[in-house]
Amino acid sequence: MASFKALFRREKSYAHAVSEINFSIGEGELVGFLGPNGAGKTTTLKMLSGILYPTEGEARVLGHIPWKREPAYQKQFALVMGQKNQLWLDLPALESFILNKEIYGISDGEYKENLDELIELMDIKDILEVPVRKLSLGQRMKCELIAALLHKPRVLFLDEPTIGLDVMAQKNIRDFIKKYNREKKTTIIITSHYMEDIKELCERVIIIDHSKIIYDGKLAELINRYAGYKQLAITFNEQGVKREQVEPYGKIMEYSQYRIIFEVERSRAKDLASAILGSSLPVDDIFIDEIDISEVVRRIFNSNN
Amino acid sequence: MKKYLAIIKATWQRALTYRISVISYRIGEMFEVFFLILLWSAIYSTQDVLKGYNLREMLTYILFGALITVVVRNWMYEVVSKDIKDGTLSQFLVKPISYLRYMLFREIGRISLAFILSVSTQLFMILIFSDRFIFNTSYLYLLEILVMVGLAFITEMFLSYLIGMVAFWTDEVDGIFTTLDRLKRFFAGGYFPINLLPAIYIKISFILPFGYSFFVPAQLYLKKMDLATGLKGILVQIVWIILLYLIIKLVWRRGLKRYEGVGI
């Protein structure tokens, strides 16, 4: 019956995609937006680039109100979405570059200079004449970035720029973003699901969950604040261990017969390590490490719920 | 202006990468015209005149109308609705360019290649049936037809763009387009000349924008309509273009609000 009703009238439901998001970002900063799917990261980026019109609140980027969509503002920023492409798939990337050159009104000289530099940085000289649909995902993303940077934006919004890329391609894109930010002093806001991206790129992170900011500050501080713990990974030789044998030593995060991960307070990490080494357990290797940042973030989200 | 030339160029290039598609469509078009010629030849085998049309006039109507059709039609609605549905539209909202203008120039770029090929194939059809085709060489008539077809081209683009924008509200645009396309074709005289029907149909067709994409220019070509009536038709077209433009502006603004709000 419900679906029959839906033929005539569909129920609508509204939800606030973002509600309590307040922050400011200085010129040249590289800031990471973190948060689970649906937290409001992309929505925030869309608002800042003028695609969405908020029901309440305000935002200014470079002194402009984004959703007025003034060309003066549009010529100063770029938005790259990992899941959408602006390049014409059927044409070589070069054609889309030329189209952007005309759209942004870039002079011939400046265009050539920028393009040469970007091609050099990205190392993609050999794929410029290949239709975009024949490129690998990594190559395509490189071209997407070039297309977005031809007009030398002062602000760059990157929404999941490394999504779906293999580890090497991710690293390439990451290195490029890092270098570009350092050399051009372009302000960059990046969202990513990959902790590696955030760890490598961003000094500052803003964590959004349930459409609210729950952390805004240095990444290193975040780790310190939430990670009063270290993790101790112990590998045992082929004899293995039983759970009862190791349980008394501390909180077990992961257990298998041949490998155990303990979580331990920072100050106690060394003691625990030596206690285990001194025991009769068949230890093969011990490794003390910081708790993984994704684990930190996961905990923040959990404690927030 | 340069940016719009770049759009046209990119579209041309794209069409060249799909040459087999572009050419195979043309073959289908030739078949369609050929079937209509077969049908009418069969009908005229038992009579010489049907509602004022003799066989030569009917075949000329079909051949000439097919030529106009290939010039004015477009598939812009597909691109517009797709861009809205999958969010590609966002790419345009962040750039200093108007989406409507972008689409219009893209269409001009697309039509220009299809145009040359389609016009060639349709001229080829006329050549094949040249012994049964009436050649109108009156400059004034041809000039008026040219203006009318040019305006029909714009009208068709605006209509298509409007239909594409339905995607702001619903994902399902194809059904609406197909239905409208059939109605359009009927009132445009695309199935058969509307003068075969009671006079009221011609009146309706004259007021609606569709007839100018087939029936009216074909009538002019056959000199079954005088220049003054044709001129009135051109005025009707201009009114429609202004009206459609205003509707586009309105629908765009409302649609965008929705797009902005929901973030589709």
Task: Establish if A102 touches chain B: CB-CB under 8 angstroms.
Answer: yes
Six-digit token pair at B221?
A: 């070509």
Rg of chain A, C-alpha, whole Å: 24
Q: Which residue of B has its CA nearest to A105?
A: B3
Six-digit token pair at A193?
A: 């699901």
Task: Establish if A77 touches chain B: CB-CB under 8 angstroms.
Answer: yes
Six-digit token pair at A205?
A: 């992170």
Burial class of residue B155, CB neighbours in 10 A (0-12, 13-18, 19+): buried
Do the Cβ atoms of B263 and A103 come within 8 Å? no
Residue A10 above 50 pLDDT? no
At position A136, the amino acid (one-letter code) is S
What is the rounded average pLDDT of the residues B55-72?
90
pLDDT given for residue B24 in this prediction: 85
Which of the residue ranges A5-14, A52-61, A100-109 would you say has the lowest mean pLDDT?
A5-14
Cβ atoms < 10 Å from Cβ of B195: 19
Q: Model confidence over A132-183: pLDDT tens digits?
A: 999 999 999 999 999 999 999 999 999 999 988 888 899 999 999 999 999 9
DSSP calls for A46-107: HHHTTSS--SS----BTTB-GGG--HHHHTTEEEEETT---S-TTSBHHHHHHHHHHHTT--
Residue B4 above 90 pLDDT? no
pLDDT given for residue A18 in this prediction: 67
Q: What strand order describes the sheet that includes A251-255? A: A251-255, A259-265, A229-236, A283-290
Task: Establish if A98 touches chain B: CB-CB under 8 angstroms.
Answer: yes
Which of the residue ranges A78-87, A242-251, B109-118 would you say has the lowest mean pLDDT?
B109-118
Angle, helix A219-226 to helix A293-304, in steps of 10 degrees: 70
Place of tokens 């909180």: A251
Cβ atoms < 10 Å from Cβ of A298: 12
Q: Over chain B, what is the mean pLDDT?
A: 88
Residue A181 · residue A266 · CB < 8 Å: no
Domain count, chain B: 1
Could you tell me which residues come within 8 angstroms of residue B161 by beta carbon, excluding any fewer than 6 positions away? Answer: B76, B77, B80, B100, B103, B248
- Categorize the per-residue pLDDT at A23 as very low, low, confident or very high, splitting at 50, 70 and 90: confident
pLDDT given for residue A16 in this prediction: 58
Q: Model confidence over A167-226: pLDDT tens digits?
A: 889 999 999 999 999 999 999 999 987 778 888 899 899 988 877 888 889 988 877 776
Residue A17 above 70 pLDDT? no
Nearest-Cα distance to chain A for B158, in Å, is 23
The length of chain B is 264
Residue B192 · residue B39 · CB < 8 Å: no
Nearest-Cα distance to chain B for A31, in Å, is 21
Residue A1 above 60 pLDDT? no
CA distances from B205 to A112, B70, B211, B224 (A): 54, 20, 5, 15
Six-digit token pair at A49?
A: 């680039």
Place of tokens 């008539």: B141
Task: Establish if B16 touches chain A: CB-CB under 8 angstroms.
Answer: no
pLDDT given for residue A19 in this prediction: 66
Could you tell me which residues come within 8 angstroms of residue B236 by beta carbon, excluding any fewer than 6 positions away? Answer: B206, B207, B209, B212
DSSP secondary-structure letter at A130? S
- Taking contacts as CB-CB distances below 8 angstroms, the residues of chain A near B5 are 102
DSSP secondary-structure letter at A289? E
Nearest to B13 among A49, A91, A104 (CB): A91
Q: Which CATH number fits domain A228-304: 1.10.3470, 3.10.450, 3.30.70, 3.30.750?
A: 3.30.70
Domain A26-223's class?
alpha beta
Range picked from B6-15, B117-126, B204-213 for highest mean pLDDT: B204-213
Residue B221 · residue B80 · CB < 8 Å: no
- Categorize the per-residue pLDDT at A304 as very low, low, confident or very high, splitting at 50, 70 and 90: low
User: How many percent of chain A have pLDDT more than 90?
Assistant: 34
Chain A, chain B: beta-carbon pairs less than 8 Å apart: 75
- Taking contacts as CB-CB distances below 8 angstroms, the residues of chain A near B86 are 84
Do the Cβ atoms of B94 and A131 come within 8 Å? no
Residue B125 · residue B66 · CB < 8 Å: yes
A139 sits in which H/E element: helix A137-149
Residue A154 · residue A62 · CB < 8 Å: yes
pLDDT given for residue A13 in this prediction: 44
DSSP calls for chain B: -HHHHHHHHHHHHHHHHTHHHHHHHHHHHHHHHHHHHHHHHHHTTS-SEETTEEHHHHHHHHHHHHHHHHHH---HHHHHHHHHHTTTHHHHHTTTS-HHHHHHHHHHHHHHHHHHHHHHHHHHHHHHTGGGPPPP--HHHHHHHHHHHHHHHHHHHHHHHHHHHGGGT-S--HHHHHHHHHHHHHHTTSSS-GGGS-HHHHHHHHHSSGGGGTHHHHHHHTTSS-HHHHHHHHHHHHHHHHHHHHHHHHHHHHHHHHHHHH--
- Taking contacts as CB-CB distances below 8 angstroms, the residues of chain B near A100 are 95
- Taking contacts as CB-CB distances below 8 angstroms, the residues of chain B near A50 are 93-94
Burial class of residue A286, CB neighbours in 10 A (0-12, 13-18, 19+): middle
Do the Cβ atoms of A75 and B96 come within 8 Å? yes
- Taking contacts as CB-CB distances below 8 angstroms, the residues of chain A near B263 are 17, 43, 46, 51-52
Report d(CA B156, CA B217) in Å as an integer: 15
Q: Which residues pair with A251 in a beta bridge?
A: A263
Q: Which residue of B has its CA nearest to A96?
A: B10
Do the Cβ atoms of B96 and A17 come within 8 Å? no
Do the Cβ atoms of B6 and A55 come within 8 Å? no
Q: Which residues pair with A209 in a beta bridge?
A: A212
Return the C-alpha torsion angle B204, B208, B210, B211, nearest 10.
50
Q: Model confidence over B168-215: pLDDT tens digits?
A: 998 778 888 889 889 988 999 988 898 888 989 988 888 999 999 999
Report d(CA B27, CA A124) in Å as an integer: 40
pLDDT given for residue B261 in this prediction: 61
What is the rounded average pLDDT of the residues A216-240?
81
Six-digit token pair at B176?
A: 């609406």
pLDDT given for residue A305 in this prediction: 57
Burial letters A176-215, b for 16+ CB under 10 A, else e: bbeebbeebebbbbbbbbbbebbbebbebbbbbbbbbbbb
- Categorize the per-residue pLDDT at A227 as very low, low, confident or very high, splitting at 50, 70 and 90: low
Q: What angle do CA B121, B126, B127 make, to 5 degrees?
A: 90
Residue A5 above 50 pLDDT? no
Report d(CA B95, CA B85) in Å as an integer: 19
User: How many percent of chain B have pLDDT more than 90?
Assistant: 45
Read off φ and ψ for residue A92, nearest 5 degrees: -60, 150
Nearest to B94 among A50, A98, A99 (CB): A50
Task: Establish if A78 touches chain B: CB-CB under 8 angstroms.
Answer: yes
Do the Cβ atoms of B91 and A96 come within 8 Å? no
pLDDT given for residue A60 in this prediction: 87
Residue A109 above 50 pLDDT? yes
- Taking contacts as CB-CB distances below 8 angstroms, the residues of chain B near A39 are none
Which residues constitute the domain of residue B220?
Answer: 2-262
Task: Establish if B93 touches chain A: CB-CB under 8 angstroms.
Answer: yes
DSSP calls for A14-41: ---S--B------TT-EEEEE--TTSSH
Q: Which residues pair with A219 in a beta bridge?
A: none
Give A158-178 as a 3 state SS string: EECCCCCCCHHHHHHHHHHHH
- Taking contacts as CB-CB distances below 8 angstroms, the residues of chain B near A86 are 91
Residue A251 above 70 pLDDT? yes
Task: Establish if A74 touches chain B: CB-CB under 8 angstroms.
Answer: yes
The residue ranges of every structural domain in chain A are 26-223, 228-304
